[in-house]
Structure 1
Amino acid sequence: MPLYEGRHNATNKIQISPEAKNSIVMGEKNCIRKIADDILEAKGAVALDGWYGVDFAGILAELKELCTEVEFIPVQSVYLPMEKIREYKKEYITEDPSFGYCNMDGRIVDLTDPEKIKDLKSRLGKGVVVYGYGAAIPELYDFYARTYYFDMTRQPLLWSMWDGKLIPFALDQPDPQYDWKEYYYCDYYLLHFQKHFIIEKMDYYVEAVKKEELKILPKAAYDEVIRTMLKYPVKEVEIYQPGPWGAYRYKDFWDVPGLECNAWNELAGPELSILIDVDREEQLNLPFVNLMQYPDKLLGRYLSETYPHLFPLDAWLDDGYFPDKQPAERISMPIHTHPSTDYVKTNFNEPIGRYETYYIAEAYEGANTWMGFYNDADLEEWEAKCRKSNNHEVIGDWKDYVCNWESNVGDLYLIPPGTDHGHGGNQMVLELDTCPSIAGTEYSFFSYDFARNSWDDKTKTMTGKPLNMQLDHSFRVSKFRREDYVDKKLRAKPSVIKWTKEYYIDRYSSVPEMPFEIERIHYQHKGEYDTEGKYCHIITLTVGKTARIYSKNNPEYGTQINLYQAAVIPADFGEYVIESEGDGQHTATLVRWKKG
């Protein structure tokens, strides 16, 4: 599952105090020296905790050269045997080939041996360092004089996992049996809740994405960076993924080395990272979800209380431009559907279902969207054909069942759970959706992908195995919505909700089950809006070259985005201005929750 990062115009430049700025230690040698000095000077034991993917082995090798009299104890020594850990994880990995069951109540201590914990406590004192995932769990935290937390952004970790290099709990070498479901449905939550615990108590935060680029922030400086970020609109490092419907409009906007086609790119969401310029020699690179340390400020009280730990919104761009005419079977997404909140809670222990929208940002000749079924389609026959095919045999008459809609710029398709659909190509789609998972996982149930080959990123060709279907889930959740229902309910229309001589705002119609609003700000030079202290906005520039977004009351708190770039506007931001240079119409499209 290849992913590529795009960092163009992704830097968030902020102003922090000179004290905080100057307290940050940058560079591998400086950081190793700082940690070593702290170990030697500490009056008790030191913990080096962190997220998966941190190069503890490399860091420890250098520390041991400077701390020759120190005892380094791997926290793996307190874990249960692997056979017991695997037994514990079975409940969350499940037999479902595509999904698991979230370990929302688990903690790292569940994987440890109480007697080994007791023995470790008796050994802790000056000149002792415990290192590894969970080194400072609540059961051990009070026995340390210093705690460091080493953090990792999510994309490099995934690359490590897919390459078979990830070292999981209890081991000091990669586990060839380790599977992505084990991470997303069990280990992610154990790591997440440990980080949630330690981030408030740590002495030092360490950016450890690359060992050769370590950065250490004292707790006070780290907190100031996070609090300050929430005063600004936030840009994220985008990710791109090739795929069997991948297209080529991206080449006109972004240079992404290695990317040979673009099925979609994520503009904003919880799994991305952020770059922060604090006016030092290097930028900070942190997970976006670190801003969830202050969820009320980021999301508003309603969302933070209703969905604890969850950033529930995503923005994606589905590429659909082809220089030459292509068949629908090449340029279309799979026919698929999404689950409701009740379904994901029951089946996957997730907090919210997948609610989607397609906003058509660009339309080319033949722009179209697949949604619903024709009024006279035999849907029992359709299901039987999909099951017989299982995406290995071509369904020659599939277009007789799935309804096709011509698209134009500004069209909005509402896609509540149970609506069979797929981007049909020849269009640029801005997807504004819910994110159902704290771990950032997505729930799409495929029923038919035209029995085509998928993308092989090693050869850069469409020669991979056909995608797997989720037929039981798909037909279980499908509401088999017909053409008339789609036309009347799901092809949304905009209505003006505010008009001034400088700008106006419109809002698209909706249906009750959709939890968010899609709105647009249209302006010649500048427009205004307000988060009201309770609505987090994700705003994307969909018409225009660039735009500056800044606080109306404090204009120094601002950022600049390009066409098809998004910014997350924290709920605490209040009244803001979006302003563009040059003549002509500009449009910014945004998503926000209905309740606040």
Structure 2
Amino acid sequence: MPTDTLPIGRYEKQPTVPLPADARVLHGAPAWTLVADTAAAKAGDRVPLIVVDAYPGADLPLLAKAIAGALPRWRVVDVEEAAALPTSAIDARFADNLTDDRVFGVLSHATVDAFYDTEHLDKLAVEIEGADGPTVLLGWGADLVARRTSASYALVLADMARWELQMRQRAGATNWRAENPDEDQLRKYKRGFFVEWRAADRHKRTLFDRIDFLLDANAIGPAEPTSRKPGMITGDAFRTGLEQAANAPLRVVPFFDPGVWGGQWMKRKLDLDPGRPNYAWCFDCVPEENSLLLEDAEGAIVEIPSLDLVLLRPKELLGERTYARFGAEFPIRFDFLDTMEGGNLSLQVHPLTDYIHQTFGMQYTQDESYYMLDAGDDAVVYLGTKDGVDRDAMLEDLRAAETGERPFPAERYVNAFPAKKHDHFLIPAGTIHSSGANSMVLEISATPFIFTFKLWDWGRLGLDGIPRPVHLDHGERNLVWERDTAWTEANLVNRVEVVSQDGDVTEERTGLHELEFIEVRRHWFAERVAHDTEGTVNVLNLVEGDEVEIVSPTGAFDPYTIHYAETFIVPAAVGPYLIRRTSRSRSERFGTVKASVRGTSRQA
């Protein structure tokens, strides 16, 4: 059964990860009563204390209201109001990290205490130490105050995913204690990405082993989901649940976003909202931004950032060698770029490794590739400069286009290679590239995903009506001009090598280029194919066929069902696994692409 006639609606948009069998998601007053009882037990003869350390961006007024309603005898103290530095002081402290650029900053290595007045923290700690009634400390960094006391306390982490934060910011929410409700969303995101989220993730890593409870703060906000109440689980359930997740296949929760070049393929094939004009992106495996849905035996859900799994169980998830190389960062990204009946992506280039490290503080760069999940008859990929290009003339035309003087004649300078379904185009950093219209791209890349230097955007405005940012100065410094037509054809276009063939199973190496650290293998099969993580994380997508299941040959985990176009993660700790057709499968042939970090397997 060809994939273009697969039944609509099979793609699972809300995949879940099971909690331990005995864990339960609690809601409302019963949840907070359990927290209060835990605090009282820890306090003994002293006045009990609850610490709710909330990720920056959590809706503290609504959270305080919920706590006060459930625990009317408890005093709720907003740590942020009592001890945070003034906004002007925070702005000055991080000016060099935020820069004047609309998109790019420099990674901050600050910790949460850099956002607070030390004297005010000390004063608040003295006040809490002498409190004569039960107290709740609330806010990002609330644990900073509690640690200054001699109290034993119940610790709650109110956690949030970055995608939810972005949605709130688009709707007018500010950055943490910033006065920027109407600021350009790109600048809000920059402040989070380069400063706030970095400090917040460092901080919560100090809490994971100590939290008594985890609260889903994604469900507490002005647009509270009607289908899900704010849930809470115990710290033990959180830790055990993520330990289990790091030893079995899983999917993160994908999210979809429109764009000026967006297409119609995902809307139709993945059963998305038909009322939206288009969908441009799907982040199907970007753990820094996606969520995990933890589900108890009764079907209740708690949403957490999937990054928590990376931060808490990096060795099991990534593998010891990959962890040693990248630290607690998920280095592989899978996402969709849909231009079917849409427009061209921007003409762009990604920074070279030395440049991204020296300029922005990132450890590694955004090498990538385009795997064609589907393509129209006229689909092309722009890749590499044409032979004999006059670089000065090209840069002059790019600058003229940036000012609006005249459009940039891309076909004069950049190769346009015809693209068909299952083609694979490799794009090491420094290579000029773009996906043309009428393509459905599975982008397989390294994770530093905002470092795109647009060179030409076909004269378009963003969805916000503002010209999309172009970074010619950065781009010029990173274009590798030697990647011309001959080099690109020889090195980057459909470099498929058959690795093995056994019965109905064919394994192919499709890249990436030797300058990139990601290894990609494609497997074709009719019934089943055996895999082994070999000690490093595997990221896969079912690029052909209707449905398969992931099976442990030893029964270490339950069979895990995957549908066409779904991306899934197989943690390093899994080891051997099988991918096989299910009893419901109707396809004659199946295909997967699998990405891993080159040189980190046990056999490397």
TM, length-normalised to structure 1: 0.89
Residues 284, 566 of structure 2: 8 Å contact kept = yes
Does residue 154 in structure 1 map to residue 162 in structure 2? yes
Q: Deviations over 1:299-356 (max 9, x none)?
A: 111221222231111101222322xxxxxxx621111000122211111111210000
Mapped partners of 1:124, 1:243: distance in 2: 49
Identify the match of residue 206 of structure 1 among 215, 230, 253.
Answer: 215
The answer on whether the counterparts of 1:157 and 1:166 sit within 8 Å (CA) in structure 2 is no
Report sequence identity in percent.
Answer: 21
Deviation at 1:111, TM superposition (A): 2.0
Which amino acid in the other structure matches residue 527 of structure 2?
H
Q: How far did residue 585 of structure 1 move?
A: 1.5
Is the aligned partner of 1:191 residue 2:200? Answer: yes
Q: 1:340 to 1:26 in 2, by over 3 A?
A: same
Residue type of the alignment partner of 1:109:
D
CA contact (8 A) 1:32 1:59 kept: no
Amino acid at match of 1:114: T
Q: Does 1:180 align with 2:189?
A: yes
Q: Residue 331 of structure 1 aligns to a residue in which SS?
A: coil
Which blocks of at least 5 consecutive residues in structure 2 are unaligned?
Answer: 1-9
**Distance verdict in 2 for CA 1:65–1:524, change over 3 Å:** closer
The structural deviation recorded for 1:399 is 1.4
Residue type matched to 2:143 in 1?
A
Does the Cα contact within 8 Å between 1:98 and 1:470 map onto a contact in 2?
no
Residue 565 (str. 1) matches residue 570 (str. 2):
no
Does residue 356 of the first structure (1) align with residue 363 of the second (2)?
no
Aligned twin of 2:495:
493
Quote how far apart the aligned CAs of 1:80 are: 2.2
Name 1:296's counterpart in structure 2: 315
Q: What letter is aligned with 1:266? A: F
CA contact 1:205–1:217 (8 Å) conserved in 2: yes
Shift of 1:118: 1.6
1:479 positional shift: 0.7
CA contact (8 A) 2:372 2:424 kept: yes
The CA distance in 2 between the partners of 1:150 and 1:166, in whole Å, is: 18
Contact 1:523 1:585 in 2 (8 A): yes
* Alpha carbons of structure 1 residues 15 and 486: separation in structure 2 relative to 1, 3 Å: same
Q: Report the equivalent of 2:301.
A: 283
Q: Matches of residues 418-567 of structure 1 in structure 2 within 5 Å?
A: 418-436=430-448, 441-455=449-463, 464-480=465-481, 481-532=483-534, 534-554=535-555, 556-567=557-568
Q: 1:33 to 1:143 in 2, by over 3 A?
A: closer
Which residue does the alignment assign to 1:46? 50
Q: Does 1:91 align with 2:96?
A: yes
Please give the secondary structure, in 2, of the residue aligned with 1:137: helix
Structure 1 residues 41 and 498: alpha-carbon distance in aligned structure 2, compared to 1, 3 A threshold = same
Query: CA-to-partner distance for each residue in 1:352-384, whole Å, 9 max, x for gaps?
Result: 100001112222211211011111332211111
- Alignment counterpart, residue 331 of structure 2, candidates 289, 294, 312: 312
Tell me the CA shift for residue 400 of structure 1. 1.1
Q: Give distance in 1, aligned partners of 2:419 and 2:152.
A: 61
**Which of these residues, 132, 135, 138, is aligned with residue 128 of structure 1?**
135
How many angstroms does 1:28 deviate by? Answer: 2.6
CA contact (8 A) 2:11 2:565 kept: no
Q: 1:157 to 1:15 in 2, by over 3 A?
A: closer
In 1, Cα distance between the equivalents of 2:11 and 2:86? Answer: 42
Matches of 2:485 and 2:269 in 1, distance apart?
36
Partner of 2:285: 268
Q: Which amino acid aligns with 1:550?
A: V
Q: Could you tell me which of 328, 338, 342 is aligned with 2:354?
A: 342
Of 48, 56, 66 in structure 1, the residue corresponding to residue 60 of structure 2 is 56
SS in 1 for 2:142: coil
Partners of 1:290 and 1:253 in 2: CA distance: 30
Q: What are the Cα deviations for residues 156-185 of structure 1, in whole angstroms up to 9, with x where unaligned? A: 21111122223614x7x8766683322111
Contact in 2 for aligned 1:39/1:129 (Cα 8 Å) = no
Deviation at 1:420, TM superposition (A): 0.2
Name the SS for the 1:453 alignment partner.
coil
Moved more, 522-531 or 82-91: 82-91
Gaps of 5+ in 1: 1-5, 323-329, 457-463
Which residue number corresponds to residue 34 of structure 1? 34
- 1:566 is displaced (CA, Å) by 0.5
In the alignment, is the contact (CA less than 8 A) between 1:371 and 1:402 conserved in 2?
yes
Contact 2:247–2:574 under 8 Å retained in 1: yes
The alignment's C-alpha RMSD in Å is 2.3
Equivalent residue for 1:327?
Answer: none
Contact preservation (8 Å) 2:267, 2:279: no
1: CA distance between counterparts of 2:162 and 2:547? 28
Pair 1:85–1:559, CA change in 2 (3 A): same
Q: Secondary structure at the match of 1:382?
A: helix
Asked whether the 8 Å contact 2:316–2:573 carries over to 1, the reply is yes
TM-superposed CA distance for 1:395, in Å, is 2.1
1-structure distance, mates of 2:72, 2:349: 59
CA–CA separation in structure 2 for the residues paired with 1:204 and 1:277: 16
Q: C-alpha separation between the residues in 2 aligned to 1:425 and 1:550?
A: 38
Pair 1:217-2:219 in alignment:
no
Q: Matches of 1:71 and 1:284 in 2, distance apart?
A: 27
Deviation at 1:103, TM superposition (A): 0.7
Q: What SS does the corresponding residue of 2:143 show, helix, strand or coil?
A: coil
Deviation at 1:486, TM superposition (A): 0.4
* Structure 1 residue 452, shift from structure 2 partner: 2.5
Superposition deviation, residue 71 in structure 1:
2.8
Contact conserved, 2:261 with 2:343, CA < 8 A, in 1?
A: yes
Q: Which amino acid aligns with 2:286?
A: G
Q: Residue type of the partner of 2:524?
A: H
| Mapped contact 2:17–2:250 kept (Cα < 8 A) | no
Q: Secondary structure at the match of 1:123?
A: helix
- Structure 2 CA distance for partners of 1:176 and 1:410, relative to 1, 3 Å: closer
The number of residues matched between the two structures is: 565
Tell me how far 1:83 sits from its aligned partner: 2.0
The whole-number CA distance in structure 2 between the counterparts of 1:448 and 1:286 is 37
User: Counterpart of 1:120 in 2: which secondary structure?
Assistant: helix
Alpha-carbon distance, 1:396 to partner: 5.6
1:404 alignment partner in structure 2: 416
Higher deviation after alignment, 65-74 or 376-385: 65-74
Tell me how far 1:119 sits from its aligned partner. 1.2
Q: What is the CA-CA distance between 1:571 and the residue it aligns to?
A: 0.7
Where does structure 1 differ by over 6 angstroms across 4 or more consecutive aligned residues?
none
User: Residue 583 of structure 1: CA displacement?
Assistant: 4.7
TM-score by length of 2: 0.88
Cα pair 1:528 1:576 within 8 Å, conserved: yes
Residue equivalent to 1:3: none
- Deviation of the 1:198 alpha carbon: 0.7
AA matched with 2:513: V
Relative to structure 1, the CA distance from residue 591 to residue 64 in structure 2 (aligned partners, 3 Å threshold; closer, same or farther) is same
Work out the CA distance in 2 between the residues paired with 1:584 and 1:360: 20
SS of 1:226's equivalent in the other structure is helix
Confirm or deny: 8 A CA contact 2:83 2:121 kept in the other structure: yes
Deviations 1:44-65 (A, max 9, x none): 3221102123222122123224
SS at match of 2:16: strand
